[in-house]
Structure 1
Amino acid sequence: MSYINKMIDNPDEFEGFDMSSLRMDEAFLQIINSSPNSIYIYELISECIKCPYKKFIAVPSGSTLIKLKTRFKTIYRLLNTQVGATHPVDNDDFVCGIKQDFGQFGVYKLETNGIICNTQVLKQPVNIYLPILTVILIYSIFFLIPLYSIVKKYVFKKDVKNESDPVTTKERLKSLDTFRGISIVLMIFVNYGGGGYVFTDHAVWNGLQVADLVFPWFLWIMGVCIPISIRSVLKKETPKGTAFLNILRRSCTLFAIGLFLGSGTNLEKLRIFGVLQRFGICYLVVATMCLFLMEVDYAEFDRKWKNYFSEILHTYKMWIIILIILIIYCLVIFLVEIDGCPKGYLGPGGFHENGKYFNCTGGVTGHIDEAILGNHIYQYPTIKEIYNSKPFDPEGIFGCLTSIIQVFLGVKAGIILLTIKCYKKRAIRWTFWAFYTGLIGAVLCGFSKENGVIPLNKNLWSLSFVLVTSSLAFLLLTFCYLLIDVIKIWNGKPFLFAGMNAIIMYIGHSITYSNFPIRWDVDNNETHFLRLFENVWGTMCWILVSYYLYKKKIFYSI
């Protein structure tokens, strides 16, 4: 392992410290307590918003070596007396505060006599972002370049089409499959670990990070494809009863597969809801609306100004249903009051607000899920570790309401494809929707992470989260559409391969989550370099699988 240690700048030993015992996002802190009594260290993690300091460790007189977690920025306080499990932020009764920026594989020294403190850096931490460049270079040299020479005629082959009409409504839009492929590839990467980086993981509570994009994008692109497939069904004059049974079958299949993949084996805490389960529910509602309320053909309006709002006017009946869902959601969120939880509370509970609403995780959203599902919810949310909150399911029941709105916004993009024939007008209309959904979402969250009427929150699937992620989806689809289906300087590959077999990719990566050669570990020597190298490897394995299926013309959908 010496070559890896050199690469990640983590020697086996440093001035007597066993550096090999440190794992990813850990550092050493040597505490020299020259006072005759023990001192007590309390910590406050930066992601624990409006929290008190929590008791970390009691340090006896003398020298003590401890390991610190460096994943999140953390500040510490030293106290001469133990004051309980927490110490309020506004309490000034402490020896000193430590605001040192502790980093991975750093070695630090803290000296205190119970009156003053002094912190020293004995060994500088490593740059945890350097492995990103290293991994890119390694895969570029040993994998991507040889692979390019083999498949370039497939990946960069320009399709010969009639250039007089860049896009026809009858041909399959590669941008849709590419969008779906980008989403599933990104989902696999972050599910495998995303290199262990904070920015690739889900936000602890409020906020928007890389992992928070993939699920809403999947729901959104499903919405884009619903009106296209429903119009095909209606044009074939398939009885609506038969078509509805097919929608119901597909929804139940998605729910059943999701239950199989994510429920676990403990019957007392078997998780009922999850990712595919929400897909099934949202598909059932939105596809049924489209089946019974959508028009088969979309003629232009007599008055020109109406054509600027064609995707709304053609679907006004569905808009009425969506507005009813939105009103119900807002009324429940802001007007329903439960014991120990104020109206409109959208926080994580636990130590948030100094523990004032300790058992109010997720407000009424969490209460509804807990009342209906009991213990059959997700047991290990990130907030449980950070806020000491109780279990909370980010894919629970109440969040389905806003997820339906997310899918419906995707339907709007699909309706634009059906009603507008000019590619320029399509791109402009999608950009319009991107701007206004993004603007409204930003206003709702107060253009910030923690403020605003409705913060950005994937766990709650808040309305601002729906609007902002849909805005980004509109932009991404516009980008893919112009490059792939209009200008045709890219044909969407390799993401196109993954997008055409997204359900196989999802089920496959879930089932083989811990299986070699897709996943592997090296002597438990966990670093960002090794984690990122392995996560990229696993993701690329599934891209190759999708390429093989594409070449064999094997495509599966539920």
Structure 2
Amino acid sequence: MDAAVVAIAGDGDADAGHRRPLLASADDDDEIRPYPASSPSPQHPAGAERKPRRVASLDVFRGLTVAMMILVDDAGGAWPGMNHSPWLGVTVADFVMPAFLFIIGVSAALVFKHLTIVDDAQQKTPNKTVATKKAAIRAIKLFILGVILQGGYIHGRHNLTYGIDLDHIRWLGVLQRIAIGYFLAAISEIWLVNNISVDSAISFVKKYFMEWIVAVMISALYVGLLLGLYVSNWEFKVQTSNSILTIPTPGNEIGMKMIQCGVRGSLGPPCNAVGFVDRVLLGENHLYKNPVYKRTKECSVNSPDYGPLPPNAPDWCLAPFDPEGLLSTLMAAVTCFVGLHFGHVLVHCKDHSPRMLLWLLASTVLTVSGFLLQLLGMPFSKPLYTVSYMLLTGGVSGFLLLLLYYIVDVINIKKPFILFQWMGMNALIVYVLAACEIFPTLVQGFYWRSPENNLVDLTESLLQTIFHSKRWGTLAFVVLEIIFWCLAACFLHMKGIYLKL
């Protein structure tokens, strides 16, 4: 999804008897090094060619995130504990999407460090126009891909049909959110970074101060709208033929339901500002039809799983709601800015120890701040993407990057993570084919006599029989699926094939 990321040369130990600043610029470098450009490392004596390599932990982080996406999407139905929280609170699944946004920000900080041209004087100068064009084209491609894959055109597993009524196409989704967050972070990185050298903590803050201001402004705009926007009463249409969400109206007619709101600052499913903005700007028909709050106790007898409506269920249980809506996507973009900061530390810190120290400090501040906001009344909520949720998930993502960086790049333990590293090198194609269910849907198109007799369903049924359990069989099937995609990514890596936008 992003350009190839440069990596570390050398082991990061300080030269004996030589003190270097904690943060420093190396404008003539084309790679991220733990040694100054003027000092040879033990592994690269003077005069030797230094071959850059990738920061392996970034690939592992990205691959692990995609693997978790597959796990929670495909096994969450059988294991509700692996699924997203129905509304408030967090589960393991709720950390996956922010982690992907976080690593996009980290990678962007590295990628845009190298977008330069050479002028007539043979001096490197930033070409902001070219960089902006590249970022915009990449974001547009990603957004269009998201509309095609997640807008309703492809109907997923167990449904061999395709097509969508444009009056009901879903404009937003996971890839669209990634595209918007990436673009906002990229534009900030291109246009708002001061062209000064970094030789101290103060100069580091000065260089990226405007990016932090933008992140704070986005957060303030989100909080202001979330708590201050007046949500009026609204109505929606519901299809009565739905097998789970039944309404006692004749035939298959469309019923109208009125939701009573008239409030400000509500964080519940029916009357929050996030849903209100989407209904006004996008329209009810273009929102997600099966929102996560249908697994709440108010809306499902099988909560925290989907199920029939309980007696006297509120009407809003039938309403659409987009978990990747406009207002929540603004807040999600701030997670990319958090990743930018971690990437800047990787760029300017020349040794492993200060990098990890600054990452540890930032991760701790983010996580503690998230819990403090939660105690002050701002709950964790992925559907709303609250500020507390952004801070918590950003901090946990930072801790995970710190851990992987130490294991993979500092003490050089790579073999246990090689499968995830391969997957991370081709994260986009694996996500599209696996997490968006393109590949299993294509495989299911080849069946024997009956659509149920296909390789995908038969394999899952066989594992459920072997384990004498639908839940454990499904989990085994998903683990097998993840291993398959790791090996497929290995094959692509061996062939030198990397899909990027």
Identity of aligned residues (%): 29
Whole-angstrom distance in 2 between the partners of 1:211 and 1:541: 21
Out of 263, 278, 281, the residue aligned to residue 342 of structure 1 is: 263
Aligned to 1:382: 292
Does structure 1 residue 548 correspond to structure 2 residue 475?
no
Whole-angstrom distance in 2 between the partners of 1:242 and 1:164: 34
Whole-angstrom distance in 1 between the partners of 2:426 and 2:456: 18
* Pairwise CA distance, 1:208: 1.1
TM-score by length of 1: 0.64
Matches within 5 A, 1:166-205: 168=33, 171-194=53-76, 196-205=78-87
Aligned to 1:485: 409
Match of 2:423, SS state, is helix
Whole-angstrom distance in 2 between the partners of 1:191 and 1:529: 15
Render the CA deviation track for 1:317-372: whole Å, top value 9, x for unaligned: 112222221221111111222221422111123xxxxxxxxxx2xx0110000111
Aligned to 1:399: 328
CA RMSD of aligned residues (A): 2.3
Does structure 1 residue 247 correspond to structure 2 residue 135?
yes
Letter in 1 for 2:491: Y
Whole-angstrom distance in 2 between the partners of 1:432 and 1:518: 46
Letter in 2 for 1:273: L
Whole-angstrom distance in 2 between the partners of 1:162 and 1:334: 50
Structure 1 unaligned runs (5+)? 1-159, 302-306, 350-359, 447-451
Letter in 2 for 1:383: Y
* Pairwise CA distance, 1:310: 5.4
Whole-angstrom distance in 2 between the partners of 1:466 and 1:311: 24
Match of 1:312, SS state, is helix
* Pairwise CA distance, 1:195: 7.0
Whole-angstrom distance in 1 between the partners of 2:78 and 2:343: 36
Residues 413/380 of structure 1: CA separation in 2 closer, same or farther (3 Å cut): same
Aligned to 2:359: 430
Whole-angstrom distance in 2 between the partners of 1:436 and 1:274: 30
- Stretch moving more, 323-332 or 292-301: 292-301
Whole-angstrom distance in 2 between the partners of 1:310 and 1:221: 24
Residues 212/220 of structure 1: CA separation in 2 closer, same or farther (3 Å cut): same
Aligned to 1:474: 398
Segments of 4+ moved more than 6 angstroms: 523-526
* Pairwise CA distance, 1:194: 4.1
Matches within 5 A, 1:296-307: 298-301=197-200, 307=201
* Pairwise CA distance, 1:379: 0.5
Letter in 1 for 2:279: E
Whole-angstrom distance in 2 between the partners of 1:378 and 1:409: 28
The answer to whether the Cα contact below 8 Å between 2:168 and 2:286 also exists between their aligned partners in 1 is: yes
* Pairwise CA distance, 1:298: 3.5
Render the CA deviation track for 1:516-548: whole Å, top value 9, x for unaligned: 545644289771122112111212111111111
The answer to whether the Cα contact below 8 Å between 1:311 and 1:416 also exists between their aligned partners in 2 is: no
Matches within 5 A, 1:207-246: 207-234=89-116, 237=125, 239-246=127-134
* Pairwise CA distance, 1:384: 2.6
The answer to whether the Cα contact below 8 Å between 1:384 and 1:391 also exists between their aligned partners in 2 is: no
Does structure 1 residue 288 correspond to structure 2 residue 170?
no
Match of 2:461, SS state, is coil
The answer to whether the Cα contact below 8 Å between 1:226 and 1:287 also exists between their aligned partners in 2 is: yes
Out of 401, 409, 413, the residue aligned to residue 338 of structure 2 is: 409
Does structure 1 residue 500 correspond to structure 2 residue 425?
yes
Whole-angstrom distance in 2 between the partners of 1:500 and 1:165: 27
Residues 531/195 of structure 1: CA separation in 2 closer, same or farther (3 Å cut): farther
Residues 433/225 of structure 1: CA separation in 2 closer, same or farther (3 Å cut): same
Does structure 1 residue 522 correspond to structure 2 residue 461?
yes
Number of positions where the alignment pairs a residue of Structure 1 with one of Structure 2: 377
Letter in 1 for 2:484: C
If each structure's strand is expressed as a fraction of its own residues, which one has the higher value?
A: 1
Residues 403/230 of structure 1: CA separation in 2 closer, same or farther (3 Å cut): same
Whole-angstrom distance in 2 between the partners of 1:247 and 1:477: 24
Render the CA deviation track for 1:226-267: whole Å, top value 9, x for unaligned: 121111003654632121111110000000000010111133
Aligned to 2:478: 535
Whole-angstrom distance in 2 between the partners of 1:347 and 1:441: 19
Aligned to 1:364: 273
Render the CA deviation track for 1:24-76: whole Å, top value 9, x for unaligned: xxxxxxxxxxxxxxxxxxxxxxxxxxxxxxxxxxxxxxxxxxxxxxxxxxxxx
Out of 229, 251, 263, the residue aligned to residue 151 of structure 2 is: 263
Whole-angstrom distance in 1 between the partners of 2:357 and 2:94: 26
- Stretch moving more, 522-531 or 256-265: 522-531
Whole-angstrom distance in 2 between the partners of 1:467 and 1:395: 18
The answer to whether the Cα contact below 8 Å between 1:298 and 1:419 also exists between their aligned partners in 2 is: no
Letter in 1 for 2:217: I
- Stretch moving more, 510-519 or 163-172: 163-172
Residues 331/161 of structure 1: CA separation in 2 closer, same or farther (3 Å cut): closer
- Bigger-Rg structure (1/2): 1
Whole-angstrom distance in 2 between the partners of 1:297 and 1:165: 26
Whole-angstrom distance in 2 between the partners of 1:229 and 1:297: 18
Aligned to 2:372: 443
Structure having greater relative contact order (Cα 8 Å, sep ≥ 6): 2
Render the CA deviation track for 1:374-403: whole Å, top value 9, x for unaligned: 110100013135334221100011112111
* Pairwise CA distance, 1:439: 0.5
